[in-house]
Amino acid sequence: DTTVSARTIRCHLNEKGRYGRRPLLTQRHKKARLEFAKTYVTKPQSFWENVLWTDETKVELFGKGQHGTVYRKRNEAFKEKNTVPTVKHGGGSKMFWGCFASFGTGCLDCVNDIMKSDFGRDVVAS
């Protein structure tokens, strides 16, 4: 007959080294991908020869892009085991862009400026 909150359960699991993770694909993502596949499954090879798939990613050189949680005892905030090292003044990440098509992969390009909608077109054309 005891009730506990979800937060209490998470805290106890974390103390035992068990951490929750969100799935990479939500149900909404899976449904959208299935609908995409159903729409394009009957397209001929000639259609796919004119498709260029692109993506970009940010690679972090130091630390995580989000704040983590540190569980500690009262009055132990500044003990070394409870602190997370950081790198100040930026410079901690790089953005990369790449593509592939039916004929193979394109080059992986480091993005030094702000990515605009014509970025991929300009990279592929060069």
Tens-digit pLDDT profile for residues 52-89: 998 888 887 665 555 566 667 778 777 877 776 666 66
d(CA 23, CA 21): 6
| Residue 50: band (very low, low, confident or very high) from pLDDT cuts 50, 70, 90 | very high
Residues contacting 82, CB < 8 A, separation 6+: 70, 72, 76
pTM over 0.85: no
Residues contacting 48, CB < 8 A, separation 6+: 102
Give me the pLDDT at residue 63, please. Answer: 57
Residues contacting 85, CB < 8 A, separation 6+: 63
d(CA 11, CA 5): 10
- Angle (CA) 62-68-73 rounded to 5° is 125
